[in-house]
Amino acid sequence: MSIMIQIDEALKQAMREKNETAMNALRSVKSAVKYKKAETGADPDEPTILQVIQKEVKKRRDSIEEFKNAGRADLVDREVAQLAVIEKYMPKELSDEEIEELAKASVAETGASTKKEMGLVMKSLMPKVAGRADGKRVNAIVQKLLD
C-alpha cells in the first residue's frame, strides 16, 4: 500500500477518534505533498513523498529545539506528539555502522582521499541513504573517514 493511502487512512481514523494532534500532523504532510505536486506539475512518486515526509520530520525537530530554547514546554510537547505521528511513515533509520559501510563503499567508488573530494563522496552516497539518514550524520561520518 502506498504511503499516501496509508496517510489518508490514518487521517480518516484520526478524524473518527477526534485526535487533533494526528489530524494536524497528517494534514500538514498531505499539504506538503500537494505543494510538491503543484511545484513539479506531476504526481510525486514514493521517494519524493519520503523526501517530503523527511522534510516535515526535520521541521518538527528544528521547532522542538527552538521551543526548548525559548522555554515553551507546551509547544515542545505538541511538536513531539506530531513528530511521533509523522515518523511512523518514515523508513527505518540507518545505524551509524550501516552509514559508515555505505560511505566506505562510496569513498572507494569515487577514489576520494581528502576532504576536498568530500562533495564527490556525498553526491554518490546521498541517493543510497535518501530518507533513511539525516544529512548531518552522513556528513560527519564521511568527514571522519576522509581525515
Residue 65 sits in the same domain as residue 130 = no
pLDDT digits (tens, 9 = 90+) for 55-102: 899 899 999 999 999 999 999 999 999 999 998 988 888 888 888 888
The pLDDT of residue 49? 87
DSSP tag of 114: S
Residue 118 sits in the same domain as residue 54 = no
Residue 70 sits in the same domain as residue 125 = no
Residue 100 sits in the same domain as residue 131 = yes
Distance between the two ends of the chain, CA-based, in angstroms? 43
Percent of the chain with pLDDT over 70: 99
Nearest of 91, 105, 95 to residue 47 by alpha carbon: 91
Compute CA distances 71 → 36, 65, 77, 108, whole Å.
Answer: 33, 10, 12, 46
Q: How many residues are present in the chain?
A: 147
DSSP tag of 41: S
Instruction: Name residue 34's amino acid.
Output: K
Residue 142, Cβ neighbours under 10 Å: how many? Answer: 24
The pLDDT of residue 1? 58
Residue 70 sits in the same domain as residue 11 = yes
Cα Rg of the chain, angstroms: 18
Residue 22 sits in the same domain as residue 62 = yes
Specify the CATH number for the domain of residue 102: 1.10.10.410
- The residue out of 87, 111, 136 marking a domain boundary is 87
As for how many domains the chain has, the answer is: 2
Does this model's pTM top 0.75? My answer is no
Host domain of residue 67: 3-87
Specify the CATH number for the domain of residue 12: 1.10.1510.10
Residue 8 sits in the same domain as residue 33 = yes
Helix (H, G, I), strand (E, B) or coil at 113: coil
